C-alpha cells in the first residue's frame, strides 16, 4: 500500500517536469516580441535592452527554462509584464475564486449525476432509463458557454432574480459566504455542473448495471436481503470509481473554466488566462497554465491514492 | 479442431449468403431509432454546410444600420437580424460550413496521426512504446479545454492556428486508445502465427492488425466530434478562432452577447445550432458504438 503510494508520487515527478517543459515551450512558441505590450512603439534600443535583461529574455532558452523552473519550485513565478505584480500572487488569488466555483459545480454535478445514474442503472431499458440517459447526453453535449448565456437571459435579464456577472460587492478581492456574494455563484455553478453531471451519470449507470448483473447480487437476494440491503452493496461497489470520476472532473473544471468565467465575468483563473492571452503577458500566461496543470496532476495522484484506500483490489493489479 | 473439420461439409451457398460483420452492423444501426434520427440531422447539417451558401434568402454579409436587431418573424427576416442588421437565418445556414469544418477537421487529422503513432507504439512495444506513451501522459496532464485555449492563445487567433491546436489536443487520447487496442491484437495467436511464418511487421500490421483496430479507434474518434464542435466554437467565442465578419456559430454567439437584453432569443440561436449539432454527433456515435459492439 505504502509502496503503491510512493510509486504513484514518484511517477508524477517526471510528468510534472514534462508539464513545465510544455508550458514553457508553449509560451516561447508564440510569434512576436514578448515585450510588445509594455514597450512604447518609439522605445529606445537602450530601454529595450534593459527590459529584456530585467525579464531575462536575453538569455538562451534552456537557460531561461531552468532558471524559471528553479524559481517556480520555490514558489516564484516571476513578474507579470502587464501589471508588474507577482504572478504567484495573481494566480493564487484567481485559483481561490475558481476553486470555489468548481467545487460547487462538482458537488451539484455529482449529486444529480449519481441520482440519474442510479435510477437509469436500476430501471434499465425502461422509460425512466431513457429519460435519465437523455438528460446525461444533453449534459455532455451542451455548449456550456451558451447554457450560461441562456440562464443569464432567463434569470437575470427576463426575471431579474439573480445577478448576471461578477463575484459580488467586493469584486475579486474579498469573497464572503453570505447571500450578497453567494447569489453571484448560483448561475455559473449550475452552468458548470452540467458537464460533470452528464459524465458521472453515464459512468454510474454503467457501473450499476454491471454490478447488478454479477452473481453475488443473486446470492445476496437468495440470502433474503431486502432491496435496501442489496442497494447498499451496489453503492459500495460503485462508490470508488464514481468518486474517482468526480475528483477528475473537479480537475477538468479547474482548468476548463475559462469559457464560463468569460460569460459570467467571474474573477478566476480563466479570466486571468483570457487577459494574459490578449495582453500577450507571457510570464502570467505560462505561470497560470503551469499552476493549473500541476494542480491537475496532483489531483490525479490524490484520486488514485484515495481510490486505492477505498478499494484495495486496485493496488494489487 | 472439430469446428475447422466440419467447414468443408457445410453448404457452400449458405456460406456465401451468410451476412458478414458489416452488414450485421448496418442492420443493427438501421434498427436503432435514436441513431437514425441523429444521422438524419447530421445529414441535413452536412447538406446545409455544402449547399447552404447557394440557397440563402438574403446575402449573409449584407449589413444595414436601419435593420439592426429586428425581432424573429420580421417581414423578410424570418429569424430576425443580428447586431449589424444582417439576416440571421442566412448567417446560421452559411455558418454551418465553417462550424462543421472547424469541428470535424481536427478530429479527422488527429484520427490519422494519433492512429499511426498509437499503432506503432502498441505493435512495437519496448522502449519506443514507453517513450511515446510517457509523452502522451504529459499531454494528458492538461485538461483539454486548457490545452486548446493555451495553444491557440500562444499561436494567435485564426482558423489555421485553431485547427492546429485542436488537432494537438485530440492526438493524445486517440493515440492512447489506438495503443491499447493494438497491444491487445498483437498478443493474439494469429499475429504470432504470422510472425512465425516470416511475415514482416509492415505486412502483419496491414493484413492482421489494421482491420481489427481501426473500428474501435474510429468509434472513439466519432465520440470526440461533439467535444471538438463545442471547443472549436468556444475558441471563436473567445476571439481565438474564426475572425469577423465570417459567419461561424461560436463567433456569432460572441458578437450577439451585447444583445441579450434587447433580443435575447436571437442572441441564443447560434448556440442552439451548436447544441443540436453536438448532441446529434454524440447520439450517432453512441449508436455506432452499440451497433459495432465496441466496449469502452
**Is the pLDDT at B14 greater than 60, yes or no?**
no
- Secondary element (H or E) of residue B178: helix B159-186
Q: Which residues contact B147 (CB under 8 A, 6 or more apart)?
A: B139, B165, B168, B169
- Domain edges within chain B: 31-47+87-292
Distance CA A249, CA A103 (A): 10
Q: How far is CA A87 from CA A141, A252, A281, B243, B277, in A?
A: 35, 22, 10, 30, 40
**Is the pLDDT at B166 greater than 90, yes or no?**
yes
> Quick count: other Cβ atoms within 10 Å of Cβ A85?
12
**Nearest-Cα residue of chain A relative to residue B154:** A30
Residues of chain B with C-beta less than 8 angstroms from the C-beta of A22? 138-139, 142
Q: Tens digit of pLDDT for each residue in A221-242?
A: 888 888 888 888 888 888 888 8
Distance CA B222, CA B46 (A): 15
**Nearest-Cα residue of chain A relative to residue B296:** A206
Nearest to B146 among A16, A157, A292 (CB): A292
**Is the pLDDT at A110 greater than 60, yes or no?**
yes
Q: How far is B181 from chain A (nearest CA, A)?
A: 19
Residues B247/B91, Cβ–Cβ less than 8 Å? yes
Q: Is residue A134 part of a domain?
A: yes
* CATH code of the domain covering residue A101: 1.10.3720.10
C-alpha cell belonging to residue A12? 508524477
Q: Which of B249, B271, B282, B286 to mutate to test the interface with A (most CBs of A within 10 A)?
A: B271
Distance CA A303, CA A298 (A): 9
What is the residue whose three cell numbers read 459570467?
A264
Using DSSP, state whether B84 is helix, strand or coil. coil
Q: Tens digit of pLDDT for each residue in B24-43?
A: 888 888 888 888 899 999 99
Q: How far is CA A264 from CA A44, A148, A151, A167, B89, in A?
A: 41, 8, 11, 9, 27
User: DSSP assignment, residue B257?
Assistant: G
Q: What is the reported pLDDT for A262?
A: 87
Higher pLDDT, A291 or A54: A291
**Is the pLDDT at B6 greater than 60, yes or no?**
no
Mean pLDDT of A103-125: 89
Residues B274/B229, Cβ–Cβ less than 8 Å? yes
- Secondary element (H or E) of residue B12: helix B12-17
Burial B33-67 (b: 16+ CB within 10 A, else e): eebeebbebbeebeebbeebeeebebebeebeeeb
pLDDT band for position A36 (cuts 50, 70, 90): low
Q: Is residue A277 part of a domain?
A: yes
Q: Which residues contact B21 (CB under 8 A, 6 or more apart)?
A: none
Q: What percent of chain B lies above the pLDDT cut of 70?
A: 92
Distance CA B268, CA B259 (A): 10
Q: How many Cα atoms sit within 13 Å of B29 on the Cβ side?
A: 19
C-alpha cell belonging to residue B209? 492488425
Q: Which residues contact A305 (CB under 8 A, 6 or more apart)?
A: A4, A5, A8
For residue A99, give its domain range.
87-310
Q: How many Cα atoms sit within 13 Å of A245 on the Cβ side?
A: 22
Higher pLDDT, A44 or B135: B135
C-alpha cell belonging to residue B229? 464542435
Mean pLDDT of A50-58: 72
**Which of A51-60, A203-212, A247-256, B225-234 has the least mean pLDDT?**
A51-60
Q: A198: cis peptide before it, omega within 30°?
A: no
Residues B213/B181, Cβ–Cβ less than 8 Å? yes
Q: What is the reported pLDDT for A7?
A: 85
Q: Tens digit of pLDDT for each residue in B110-155?
A: 999 999 999 999 988 889 998 999 889 888 888 888 889 888 888 8
Closest CA to A143 of B140, B169, B221, B99: B99
Closest CA to B168 of B179, B157, B155: B155
Q: What is the reported pLDDT for A170?
A: 62
Distance CA B168, CA B110 (A): 7
pLDDT band for position B5 (cuts 50, 70, 90): very low
Q: What is the reported pLDDT for B10?
A: 44
Q: What is the reported pLDDT for B12?
A: 45
Higher pLDDT, A85 or A21: A21
Q: Tens digit of pLDDT for each residue in B93-122?
A: 888 899 999 999 999 999 999 999 999 999
**Is the pLDDT at A315 greater than 70, yes or no?**
no
**Nearest-Cα residue of chain B relative to residue A28:** B154
What count of residues does chain A have?
317
In degrees rounded to 5, what are phi and psi of residue A84? Answer: 50, 30
User: DSSP assignment, residue B7?
Assistant: G
Mean pLDDT of A25-45: 69
Furthest CA-CA distance within chain A: 87
Domain B31-47+87-292 in CATH 3.40.50.2000? The answer is: no
Residues B92/B270, Cβ–Cβ less than 8 Å? yes
Q: How many Cα atoms sit within 13 Å of B279 on the Cβ side?
A: 19
Distance CA B85, CA B78 (A): 13
Distance CA B10, CA A231 (A): 50
Q: Tens digit of pLDDT for each residue in A125-165?
A: 888 888 888 888 888 889 988 999 899 888 887 787 877 77
Q: What is the reported pLDDT for A105?
A: 92
Q: What is the reported pLDDT for A132?
A: 85
| DSSP H stretches of helix in B80-209 | 88-124, 126-140, 144-155, 159-186, 189-196, 201-204
Q: Count the domains in chain A.
A: 1
Distance CA A317, CA A131 (A): 37
> Quick count: other Cβ atoms within 10 Å of Cβ B23?
10
Put simply, the answer to whether B260 touches A255 (Cβ < 8 Å) is: no
Q: What is the reported pLDDT for B272?
A: 92
Mean pLDDT of B76-97: 79
Put simply, the answer to whether A22 touches B142 (Cβ < 8 Å) is: yes
**Which of A94-98, B79-83, B287-291 has the least mean pLDDT?**
B79-83
Q: What percent of chain A lies above the pLDDT cut of 70?
A: 90
Q: What is the reported pLDDT for B165?
A: 92
**Nearest-Cα residue of chain B relative to residue A260:** B234
Distance CA B1, CA B158 (A): 61
Higher pLDDT, A68 or B16: A68
| DSSP H stretches of helix in A178-281 | 179-212, 215-222, 227-255, 258-264, 269-278
| DSSP H stretches of helix in A74-175 | 87-122, 127-141, 144-151
Residues of chain B with C-beta less than 8 angstroms from the C-beta of A137? 279, 282-283, 286
> Quick count: other Cβ atoms within 10 Å of Cβ A226?
10
Mean pLDDT of A291-303: 88
Put simply, the answer to whether B275 touches A142 (Cβ < 8 Å) is: yes
**Is the pLDDT at B4 greater than 70, yes or no?**
no
Closest CA to B175 of B134, B127, B235, B144: B134
Mean pLDDT of B74-102: 81
> Does B274 contact A at CB distance below 8 Å?
yes
Q: How far is CA B232 from the centre of its chain?
A: 11
Q: Which of A143, A187, A192 to mutate to test the interface with B (most CBs of B within 10 A)?
A: A143
Residues of chain B with C-beta less than 8 angstroms from the C-beta of A254? 143
Q: How far is CA A34 from CA A22, A143, B9, B161, in A?
A: 18, 33, 77, 19
> Quick count: other Cβ atoms within 10 Å of Cβ B126?
8
| Angle made by CA atoms B97, B103, B106, in degrees to the nearest 5 | 120
> Does B295 contact A at CB distance below 8 Å?
no
| DSSP H stretches of helix in A29-86 | 45-55, 61-73
> Does B142 contact A at CB distance below 8 Å?
yes
Per the prediction, chain A carries an average pLDDT of 82
Q: Is residue A135 part of a domain?
A: yes
Amino acid at each position: 500500500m505504502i509502496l503503491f503510494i510512493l510509486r504513484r508520487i514518484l511517477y508524477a515527478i517526471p510528468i510534472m517536469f514534462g508539464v513545465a517543459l510544455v508550458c514553457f515551450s508553449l509560451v516561447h512558441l508564440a510569434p512576436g516580441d514578448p515585450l510588445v505590450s509594455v514597450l512604447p512603439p518609439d522605445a529606445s534600443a537602450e530601454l529595450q535592452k534593459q527590459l529584456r535583461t530585467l525579464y531575462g529574455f536575453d538569455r538562451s532558452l534552456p537557460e531561461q527554462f531552468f532558471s524559471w523552473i528553479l524559481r517556480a519550485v520555490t514558489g516564484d513565478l516571476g513578474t507579470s509584464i502587464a501589471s508588474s505584480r507577482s504572478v504567484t500572487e495573481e494566480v493564487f488569488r484567481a485559483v481561490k475564486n475558481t476553486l470555489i466555483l468548481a467545487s460547487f459545480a462538482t458537488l451539484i454535478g455529482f449529486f444529480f449525476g449519481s441520482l440519474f445514474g442510479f435510477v437509469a442503472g436500476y430501471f434499465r431499458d425502461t422509460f425512466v432509463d431513457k429519460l435519465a440517459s437523455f438528460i446525461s447526453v444533453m449534459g455532455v453535449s451542451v455548449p456550456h458557454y451558451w447554457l450560461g448565456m441562456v440562464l443569464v437571459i432567463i434569470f437575470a435579464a427576463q426575471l431579474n432574480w439573480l445577478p448576471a456577472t461578477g463575484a459580488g460587492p467586493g469584486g475579486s478581492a474579498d469573497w464572503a459566504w453570505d447571500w450578497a456574494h453567494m447569489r453571484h455563484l448560483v448561475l455559473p455553478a449550475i452552468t458548470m455542473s452540467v458537464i460533470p453531471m452528464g459524465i458521472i451519470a453515464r459512468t454510474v449507470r454503467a457501473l450499476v448495471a454491471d454490478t447488478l448483473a454479477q452473481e453475488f447480487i443473486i446470492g445476496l437476494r437468495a440470502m433474503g436481503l431486502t432491496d435496501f440491503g442489496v442497494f447498499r452493496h451496489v453503492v459500495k461497489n460503485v462508490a470508488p470509481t464514481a468518486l474517482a470520476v468526480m475528483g477528475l472532473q473537479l480537475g477538468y473544471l479547474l482548468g476548463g473554466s475559462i469559457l464560463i468565467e468569460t460569460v459570467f465575468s467571474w474573477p478566476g483563473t480563466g479570466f486571468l488566462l483570457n487577459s494574459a492571452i490578449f495582453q500577450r503577458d507571457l510570464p502570467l500566461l505560462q505561470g497560470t497554465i503551469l499552476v493549473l496543470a500541476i494542480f491537475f496532476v496532483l489531483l490525479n495522484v490524490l484520486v488514485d491514492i484515495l481510490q486505492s484506500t477505498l478499494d484495495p483490489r486496485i493496488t494489487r493489479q | 479442431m472439430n469446428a475447422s473439420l466440419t467447414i468443408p461439409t457445410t453448404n457452400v451457398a449458405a456460406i456465401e449468403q451468410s451476412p458478414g460483420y458489416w452488414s450485421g452492423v448496418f442492420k443493427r444501426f438501421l434498427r436503432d431509432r435514436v441513431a437514425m434520427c441523429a444521422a438524419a440531422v447530421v445529414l441535413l447539417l452536412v447538406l446545409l454546410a455544402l449547399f447552404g451558401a447557394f440557397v440563402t434568402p438574403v446575402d449573409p454579409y449584407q449589413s444595414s444600420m436601419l435593420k439592426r436587431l429586428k425581432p424573429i418573424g420580421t417581414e423578410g427576416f424570418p429569424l430576425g437580424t443580428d447586431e449589424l442588421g444582417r439576416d440571421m437565418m442566412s448567417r446560421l445556414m452559411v455558418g454551418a460550413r465553417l462550424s462543421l469544418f472547424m469541428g470535424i477537421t481536427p478530429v479527422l487529422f488527429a484520427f490519422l496521426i494519433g492512429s499511426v503513432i498509437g499503432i506503432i507504439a502498441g505493435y512495437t512495444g519496448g522502449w519506443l512504446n514507453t517513450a511515446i506513451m510517457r509523452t502522451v501522459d504529459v499531454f494528458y496532464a492538461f485538461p483539454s479545454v486548457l490545452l486548446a485555449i493555451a495553444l491557440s492563445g500562444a499561436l494567435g487567433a485564426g482558423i489555421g492556428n485553431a485547427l492546429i491546436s485542436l488537432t494537438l489536443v485530440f492526438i493524445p487520447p486517440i493515440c492512447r486508445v489506438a495503443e491499447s487496442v493494438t497491444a491487445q491484437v498483437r498478443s493474439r495467436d494469429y499475429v504470432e502465427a504470422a510472425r512465425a511464418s516470416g511475415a514482416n511487421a509492415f505486412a502483419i500490421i496491414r493484413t492482421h492488425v489494421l482491420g481489427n483496430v481501426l473500428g474501435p479507434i474510429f468509434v472513439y474518434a466519432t465520440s470526440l466530434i461533439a467535444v471538438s464542435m463545442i471547443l472549436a466554437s468556444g475558441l471563436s467565442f473567445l476571439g481565438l478562432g474564426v475572425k469577423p465578419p465570417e459567419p461561424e456559430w461560436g463567433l456569432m454567439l460572441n458578437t450577439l452577447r451585447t444583445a441579450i437584453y434587447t433580443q435575447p432569443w436571437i442572441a441564443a440561436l447560434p448556440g442552439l445550432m451548436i447544441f443540436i449539432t453536438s448532441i446529434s454527433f454524440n447520439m450517432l456515435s453512441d449508436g455506432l458504438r452499440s451497433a459495432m459492439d465496441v466496449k469502452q
